[in-house]
Amino acid sequence: MNDPDSQAGGARKVLEVEEDAAGTRLDQWLAKQLAPELSRSRIQTLIREGAVSIGGSPVLEARAKVAAGFVVEVNVPPPEPAEPEGEAIPLDILFEDDELVVVNKPAGLVVHPGAGNWSGTLVNALIAHCGPSLSGIGGVRRPGIVHRLDKDTSGVLVVAKTDHAHRELTAAFADHGRSGDLERAYQALVWGTPPRPTGTIDTLLGRSGRDRTRQAVVSESQPDARHAVTHYTIRERFGEEPDATALASLVECRLETGRTHQIRVHMAHIGHPLVGDRDYGAAFLSKANRLSEPLKGLVSGFGRQALHAWLLAFRHPTTHMLLRFEAPMPEDMARLLAAFRAME
């Protein structure tokens, strides 16, 4: 039997152990009974906190064995208040249901609170927007961040609203779509033009030895080295020369892995950093001085890397339907791209 009684946002569940489950560990049996609502790790926490009892007596050992006919009571407390607090920040919602929310993140919005950004983030905005519909990630009423976009990168981003969705989506992104349907595509405006119409950049990335806030292509001997693969396709060239070079190019990048600053580092690594990228493309800033107006002014005043996550596709964690979302190029990047096209 399952008797969920309201407890100010929590739930009381009473279950009876069936005969064929006799001898099973308590946490394993409960995980099977309460999936997908509660994960095994969450159940183990509840057991340690004294929220699980058998015959009215708390059981504090997850490894305790159950017997046929045992009546197990689970008291799930209401999710703890979110930290940080919610803030009424406008959001461009592309899709939302009980499990997840998909947003078109603008450039300039930090995804998660951290040093120097404890408020005004996407998480603050989602806490306010979703309110009670957040069922609690690990017992805390907060959105579950599955993947991130840099502060100054715009585009499609999915966030989990439940523990189940968070587990499923996190696994899908960690797998990088190798065993499922996950697709991520970015539009990047880069200096110059890669030598081939399509290509793959396959390196190891880790913290830069010169600046710990940046990433760099590193050797396998570096402890934090992680495999990173980016596939690119040239979509347009601007200012083409007779020798097949160009002033700049619009490149589509598709990720096989999802490392910090991956596209920015990879494109700089092959000699074609993103327009506007002051961290990885500083050596190319002088290129703007050689441009004619109005392009020169637009490039000089473009205060971020020209990178937009235009496509995200994945399987819904509960219905398993394939969801596909596209976000139009934001106005600032579209204006810059139009100026490059006009120079032709």
**pTM reported for the whole predicted model:** 0.76
Candidates 3.30.420.40, 3.10.290.10, 3.65.10.10, 3.40.50.300; CATH matching 5-76: 3.10.290.10
Radius of gyration of the chain (CA): 25
Q: Which residue numbers are catalytic?
A: 150
How confident is residue 45, by pLDDT bands cut at 50, 70 and 90?
confident
Q: Is residue 317 over pLDDT 90? A: yes
Q: Do domains 93-175 and 184-342 have the same CATH topology?
A: yes
Lowest mean pLDDT among 31-40, 100-109, 304-313: 31-40
Question: What local confidence, expressed as pLDDT, does residue 2 receive?
Answer: 47
Residue 112 · residue 145 · CB < 8 Å: yes
How confident is residue 116, by pLDDT bands cut at 50, 70 and 90?
low
Question: What local confidence, expressed as pLDDT, does residue 50 receive?
Answer: 86
Of 12-16, 147-151, 262-266, 339-343, the range with the highest mean pLDDT is 262-266
Q: What is the pLDDT of residues 152-166, one digit of tens each?
A: 999 999 999 988 899
Question: What local confidence, expressed as pLDDT, does residue 95 receive?
Answer: 97
Mean pLDDT of the chain, nearest integer: 88
Question: What local confidence, expressed as pLDDT, does residue 5 receive?
Answer: 42
Q: Could you give the CA distance from residue 248 to residue 129 in angstroms, rounded to a whole number? A: 40
How confident is residue 7, by pLDDT bands cut at 50, 70 and 90?
very low
Q: Could you give the CA distance from residue 206 to residue 223 in angstroms, rounded to a whole number? A: 8
Q: Is residue 136 over pLDDT 70? A: no
Instruction: Name which of 263, 264, 255 is nearest 282 in CA terms.
Output: 264
Q: Give 12 or 307, the one with higher predicted confidence.
A: 307
Say if strands 154-160 and 307-315 run parallel, antiparallel, or are unpaired.
Answer: parallel
User: Domain coordinates of the chain in residue numbers?
Assistant: 5-76, 93-175, 184-342
Cite the DSSP H helix spans in 197-317.
Answer: 262-269, 295-301
Question: What local confidence, expressed as pLDDT, does residue 115 receive?
Answer: 63
Q: What is the pLDDT of residues 255-298, one digit of tens each?
A: 988 899 999 999 999 999 999 999 999 888 777 777 888 898 99
Q: 93-175 belongs to which CATH class?
A: alpha beta
Q: Is residue 149 over pLDDT 80? A: yes
Question: What local confidence, expressed as pLDDT, does residue 269 receive?
Answer: 96
How confident is residue 9, by pLDDT bands cut at 50, 70 and 90?
very low
Structure tokens at 31: 């995980």
Strand partners, 53: 58, 73
| CATH topology for the 184-342 domain | Pseudouridine synthase (3.30.2350)
Q: Is residue 4 over pLDDT 80? A: no
